[in-house]
Structure 1
Amino acid sequence: EAYWAIRRKLDLENPLIRQLYWRDFLTQIAFHFPHVFGNSFKEKYNKVAWKQDTQAFEFWREGRTGFPMVDAGMRQLNQTGFMHNRARMVVASFLTKDVHIDWRWGERYFAQRLVDYDPCVNNGNWQWAASTGCDAQPYFRIFNPWRQQERFDPDCKFIKKWIPELSSLSPHQIHRWGGELGVDYPAPILDHKRAALKAKMLFDGL
């Protein structure tokens, strides 16, 4: 009933309808390919040499990476149990493609925190971000967290809401954050360009 009520009011290209399709698709994938819980859908990617960096994972989990868009998303998750879909993609890409940590670590943390947790959707979304899933982001296409925040939070309203330490800075300063400026907020824990190149190397040849 809920579906048809929404369908009558919205066209088939509406983002909400598309998300319902995506949810059902991922549910079917999990049903027919149950190995996705604990393993990559594309089994060759079980050989990716993910890092076991617990300190970097803590920085990510607590919203202390020095990448404002990533940290704002994680702080929102930790405080509310929710995160916008765009932020979910950014933080998942950052953990897997920048920090090079196993997507299963992120999947598990989201399962513990999300109020709208769905095991099939959560698994599918993490495997999409990690490029290990059935309809995943190609491993050589890597989100640039700086470009993501400039495009989707140009005025830094979302960032400043969840990172009050940056409230005194201009959007220009935040989009080019490198640390210092007398602000009690960490410098970036890594160089995105170098990390992206390393991520591609993890997948090349598998």
Structure 2
Amino acid sequence: MEHGSLDTAQVNRVSEERASIASDHIDRLTRWADDFPVDGVRFADLTPVFADPDGLKAVVAALAEAGSGADLVAGIDARGFLLGAGVALELGTGILAVRKAGKLPPPVVAQSYELEYGSAELEIPADVDISGRKVLIVDDVLATGGTIAATAELLRACGAEIVGAAVALEIAVLAGRGKCEGYPLVCLRQV
């Protein structure tokens, strides 16, 4: 696959025109921070994309195309909340906030996972019934894939069906796509 382009399966889920417009905004506006949050990690900060009205609109519209058939969007803490809320509005669904550990009052359902600079845990409220729901997972960046894979595992354990995952940016060298199996994965820009 050519650097930054979408593969055939992705093009079937997101129009080339929408993906190209969103990709241009992501490429132009993403701020890169070396050695953040720890030495050796190059952090992709998409907040300038979100602050740009045209950039935000383009990214949300393209990600929403990946959610065909979804009746719930799961936005991953924290930038996935921003994108996920927009995608949910586009799709006419609700949004489930997938939170970092300790941010929700009990009872919660939790899933631990490894990421590129340590380990973490994700939680959702135990009393939100997602059994049988068709869920699109949304986040800003796919790096090592641990966060999206853990989210999918958590939602499946609660009875949800994952219809796909959608991210604005994929850092291909970290091979996170390999951890995201059993559902379509769409990224709008690959670096």
Higher helix share: 1
Structure number with larger C-alpha Rg: 1
Higher strand share: 2
Whether these two folds match at TM > 0.5 is no
TM-score if structure 2 supplies the norm length? 0.29
